[in-house]
Amino acid sequence: MIHSKLIESSNGTDLTLTDEDVYKTISTYKPLHLRFTQLFEPPVISWSDVGGLQRIKKSLTESILWPTTYSKLFKNYPLPLRTGVLLYGPQGTGKTLLASAVASECKLNIISVKGPELLNKFIGASEKAVRDTFKKAKNASPCVIFFDELDSLAPRRGRDSTGVTDRVVNQLLAELDGVEELEGVYVLAATNRPDLIDPALLRPGRLDKLLYFPLPDAAERLMILEALTKNVVLDADVDLKNLADSTENFTGADLKGLLYNALLEVVHHHCHHEEGNNNGEGAFDDSVIKVKYVHLKTALNKTQPSILERDRRRFDEIYSQFNGPNEEIAHNLANTVGVKATFA
């Protein structure tokens, strides 16, 4: 690294290496062991960008942030640390967003895997993809492997006529059993159907910490709206608390969609205004664009919760197996019989 910088800055004259040269080079330098590892680069997200979910943030801080920040202290910890966490809850409740926030807050590399993308019709290819993922994480340590839609990658064994997912589950079990030896490697997985996941993955030492993402209550919806509007200019008449109270059963994603629709209302209003001007594009000053409460109310009238009442009841029935008083400890879930549910 230093050698290449010296050559670059020499220009046939005496070589002088400054602190600025070193810092600039380090900021763009990629270590050799990461040259061929494709890492996911999520947007920089902090805890404050994720509204609500205080209990889950606290739990992830204790499970991942503290061990990475106080690594010397945790090396002397007499018991093996938990390195596998399953995030579950309805779609749109912030599971994927929070996984990105964990990586940003803990300053960890992240390898993101959408469940189905590891599956391959050729014998042995899917298992190799799983092994390679954990190998890359070891090379990129400290690192988080994030398996999104885990239920599609690791469903209950014995239900796949081809045997592909059965072999993938077996390989995942083998890798998770050895992950404690991979210093600085953590596994996060997300699903909205934990009952479809093979129970062996939820046994101690694997994904044995379960964190439930419920639909936000009014207080959490207010925190979500405050986070979403952090960079939005709101008119003085906007009452976010009133809006939070009016959006029962909305997920975080629904609230984001609501705000997007409100912004569209503002844009449409000003576009119609500009069309009436004789100056063509007009002289509208972008800096005065504000979202008013009427825009939010209009958007609310056009927006409905994405999770229907019948689906909420079915989700509640499924999650009741997992979110009891011992929610975070999945010891007694490994032999749970799944609830049959269809979502038409």
- Cβ atoms of 88 and 322 closer than 8 Å: yes
pLDDT at 223: 95
The Cα–Cα gap between 86 and 211 comes to 6
Q: What local confidence, expressed as pLDDT, does residue 333 receive?
A: 42
d(CA 185, CA 142): 6
Q: How many other C-beta atoms can be found within 10 angstroms of the C-beta atom of residue 286?
A: 6
* DSSP structure class, residue 114: E
Q: Would you list the domain boundaries of the chain?
A: 2-30, 47-215+311-325, 218-306
DSSP line for 132-149: HHHHHHHHT-SEEEEEES
Fold of 218-306: Helicase, Ruva Protein; domain 3 (1.10.8)
pLDDT at 276: 61
**What is the pLDDT at residue 343?**
41
Interval 259-265 mean pLDDT: 92
Q: For residue 34, give both structure tokens.
A: 């990461």
Q: What is the value of pTM for the model shown?
A: 0.79
Residues in CB range of 222: below 8 A, 6 or more apart: 51, 240, 241, 244
Report pLDDT digits (tens) over 264-277: 988 887 787 666 66
The fraction of the chain above a pLDDT of 70, given in percent, is 76
pLDDT band at 73 (very low <50, low <70, confident <90, very high): confident
Residue 161's pLDDT is: 66
Judged on CB neighbours under 10 Å (0-12, 13-18, 19+), 256 is middle
Q: Which residues fall within 8 angstroms of residue 244, CB to CB, at 6 or more apart? A: 218, 219, 221, 222, 225
Per the CB < 8 A criterion, the answer to whether 143 and 102 are in contact is no
What does the DSSP assignment read for 167-190? HHHHHHHHHHHTGGGSTTEEEEEE
Cis peptide before 204 (omega within 30 of 0): no
Identify the band that residue 79 occupies on the pLDDT scale cut at 50, 70 and 90.
low
- Return the CATH superfamily for domain 47-215+311-325: P-loop containing nucleotide triphosphate hydrolases (3.40.50.300)
pLDDT tens profile 88-130:
999 999 999 998 898 888 888 889 998 888 888 788 899 999 9
- When computed from its CA atoms, the radius of gyration of the chain, rounded to whole angstroms, is 24
Calpha distance 10→18 (Å, rounded): 12
